[in-house]
Chain A
Amino acid sequence: MVMQPLTILIAEDSAADRLLLSSILRRLGHDVLTAANGAEAVDTFRQQQPHLVLMDAMMPVMDGFEAARQIKALAGETLVPIIFLTSLSESEALARCLEVGGDDFLAKPYNQVILAAKIKAMDRLRRLQDTVLQQRDQIARHHDYLLNEQRVAKAVFDKVAHSGCLNAAPNIRYLQSPYALFNGDLLLAAFTPAGDMHVLLGDFTGHGLPAAVGAMPLAEVFYGMTAKGYGLADTLREMNAKLKRILPVDMFCCATLLCLSFQRRSVEVWNGGMPDGYLHRVASGERTLLPARHLPLGVLSPESFDERTEVFPMVLGDRVFLLSDGVIDTCDANDQLFGVQRLQQVFAANRQPDALFEEIEQALRQFGGETRDDVSMVEISLLEPAQITPPALVYSDSGQSCPLDWSVSFEFRAATLKRFNPLPYLLQLLLEVHGLRSQSGELYSVLAELYSNALEHGVLGLDSSLKRDASGFARYYQQRNTRLDELQEGYVRLHLQVAPTDDGGCLTIRIEDSGKGFDVERVMARPMDDIRLSGRGVSMIRQLGRNARWTDDGRSACVEFIWKAAQ
């Protein structure tokens, strides 16, 4: 390769040597600047920025060592190679040439061939440095650009992700690294119309924008379906189908989805591929594991997806902990993992349940040399329903087309009861009636209780007294799944009637089932106590609805909701 001509500064007090060097360099095709001492050399450098300097060590006014130091300082990050010209021969003096910033030296008398070769070598170094600097600046620019993109994406995403109740609910505490989203971690929480709380902690495979992109549709399905009153099973099926459809084969989302019911004091859990969650029982200090029972979301086809959940009873103050693998995989300085055992130890050492969350945080801080950016952790506690205030729903229509006088009947038969949850549709229909909107929570709770009583105790013939203790509770829900799978016949009929009254309106809900019924008088005689896990449904219906009554040996239930017309 032909060398590009360089501008070379010769600093040399001997006029004869200057002349000799100049003519050699010009013959090699370079431009030459000259200086007779160090001070002149520094001045010339400042004014004309040559590419390379040949520097005599011993000069009057300012010697080559000092001039080299100053020129290097002026050059900054740019590499301006300095080759010392020297008749010195002691190794100490030669070493000094390099110590003050020289890049090489050339012994007098000059050898043309070696001089040319050294200039070439120095030029290679100079160009290398140039390239490195350019690339560094380019990377820095790209990096800034990327960070900015992430900031914008995060701002958009925060709007979506935090439209739920994550920050507003008094029973949620969470820890999430600010850029966790770009590590694929996702935390969502929202209220159902009945006042239950749905929480999702997810972890997408992969990093960066691809992971964040998958989070958007997931969040949309979560909020949309939760607000409409869909249960975990429907929501899970929809999330899985959606992710399966849009994500590439090698991308999926590990997730734990749970439904915390303040009314029923229970938690329903589905865990696909996340680390064990924990149900921490405050009274006994015991922990129930909530392990992964399923493949992550987005792996299986809709036909083979398994949305079966587990249900556990809770008492006031009990809390559920969910965490991402970033917590367990936090590394200390020696690459040791924090691990499940250390986490368990923190649980075991805890005396004050309210401090548990901080204690885990603290244990992680003390353990980990560096904090990972994919640590997500959430604690959800069971409070009294009165302590939880779901936000009021916002409706956009004017009320001109509000339906006020109608009735409708449904019959849901076995094949439908197995898979389909009609409640969201029914609720949507009923909320077209403006007068009912302020009672949407109560309405949904009553509908849900009536429907699950008719299905579980009626059609499926499940014994509610099973739910008296914790192990029976689990058995109850296992039986529910089995019997539903095997269901061949039976029905739940639902009649809704909306009629105007003098000062408002009245909704009558009647529900019938094909089951054996129950001893109405005995159940009604029971006190409306709050402590038992079983039988809470009936008392809730009686408290929230009006004129609740059971006929036909308990196979038919009827309840009313009334409202006053707006003035």
Chain B
Amino acid sequence: MSVVTEVSPDGQKLTISVKGRFDFAKHQEFRQSYENTKLSAVVVDLKDATYLDSSALGMLLLLRDHAGGDDSDVRVVNSSTDVRKILAISNFDKLFDIS
């Protein structure tokens, strides 16, 4: 599995970890990881993500939309230098809490 999910014990936080290339090939898996969950807080863990393309950015937007749009609480954590560069060019730090 290259997309792994984990729900915190209190059921409040969903953590989605993406491994390897985060691109269109993960579309299905990524969507299924949160689709049937009621989301209050979401963490996307990119510790093991090696690459991120524009369709991954689109997937993050879909997740944000599902989690409540402007009222959502989506954090993107553990992004590598390369991944962070891509997020920075797109100015996604204005939409997501990125660390």
Name B54-99 residues within 8 Å CB distance of A: 54-55, 57-59, 61-62, 65, 70, 89-92, 94-95
Q: Does A482 contact B (CB under 8 A)?
A: no
Q: Is there an interface contact between B70 and A205, defined as CB atoms closer than 8 Å?
A: no
Which chain B residues lie closer than 8 Å to A304 at the CB level? 70
Q: Is there an interface contact between A296 and B90, defined as CB atoms closer than 8 Å?
A: yes
Q: Is there an interface contact between A205 and B89, defined as CB atoms closer than 8 Å?
A: no
Q: Which residue of the partner chain, among B61, B91, B94, B95, contacts A250 with CB atoms under 8 Å?
A: B61
Bound together, the chains give a CA A296 to CA B57 distance in angstroms of 11
Q: Is there an interface contact between B89 and A295, defined as CB atoms closer than 8 Å?
A: no
11 contacts across the A-B interface (CB closer than 8 A) = A205-B54, A249-B58, A252-B58, A254-B54, A273-B91, A275-B89, A292-B89, A293-B91, A294-B91, A299-B61, A299-B95
Instruction: List the 8 closest pairs (A to B, CB-CB), nearest first.
Output: A250-B58, A205-B54, A273-B90, A249-B65, A250-B62, A295-B91, A205-B58, A292-B89
Q: Does A251 contact B (CB under 8 A)?
A: yes
Question: Smallest distance from the beta carbon of B93 to chain A beta carbons, Å?
Answer: 10
Q: Is there an interface contact between B89 and A250, defined as CB atoms closer than 8 Å?
A: no
B54, B59, B61 interface centre (most CB from chain A within 10 Å) = B54
Which chain B residues lie closer than 8 Å to A249 at the CB level? 58, 61-62, 65
Q: How many A-B contacts if CB must be within 8 Å?
A: 45
Q: Is there an interface contact between B58 and A292, defined as CB atoms closer than 8 Å?
A: no
Which chain B residues lie closer than 8 Å to A301 at the CB level? 70
Bound together, the chains give a CA A279 to CA B26 distance in angstroms of 38
Q: Is there an interface contact between B94 and A295, defined as CB atoms closer than 8 Å?
A: yes
Name A271-293 residues within 8 Å CB distance of B: 272-275, 292-293
Which chain A residues lie closer than 8 Å to B94 at the CB level? 295
> In this complex, what residue of B is CB-closest to A304?
B70
For this complex, into which size category does the number of interface residues on chain B fall?
Answer: 10 to 19
> Looking at chain B's contact residues, is the secondary structure mostly helix, strand, loop, or mixed?
helix
Q: Is there an interface contact between A250 and B55, defined as CB atoms closer than 8 Å?
A: yes
Given the interface contacts A205-B54, A299-B95, does A250 sit within 8 Å of B90 by beta carbon?
Answer: no
Which chain B residues lie closer than 8 Å to A295 at the CB level? 90-92, 94-95
> In this complex, what residue of B is CB-closest to A291?
B89
Question: Smallest distance from the beta carbon of B20 to chain A beta carbons, Å?
Answer: 15
Question: Smallest distance from the beta carbon of B30 to chain A beta carbons, Å?
Answer: 10
Which chain A residues lie closer than 8 Å to B55 at the CB level? 205-206, 250
Which chain A residues lie closer than 8 Å to B59 at the CB level? 250
Q: Is there an interface contact between A252 and B61, defined as CB atoms closer than 8 Å?
A: yes
Name B18-50 residues within 8 Å CB distance of A: none
Question: Smallest distance from the beta carbon of B95 to chain A beta carbons, Å?
Answer: 7
Question: Smallest distance from the beta carbon of B82 to chain A beta carbons, Å?
Answer: 10
Bound together, the chains give a CA A274 to CA B90 distance in angstroms of 7
Question: Smallest distance from the beta carbon of A253 to chain B beta carbons, Å?
Answer: 10
> In this complex, what residue of A is CB-closest to B60?
A250
A249, A250, A272 interface centre (most CB from chain B within 10 Å) = A250
Given contacts A292-B90, A295-B92, A296-B91, 9 further A-B contacts (CB under 8 A): A206-B58, A249-B61, A250-B58, A250-B61, A273-B89, A274-B89, A275-B89, A295-B95, A299-B95
Question: Smallest distance from the beta carbon of B42 to chain A beta carbons, Å?
Answer: 15
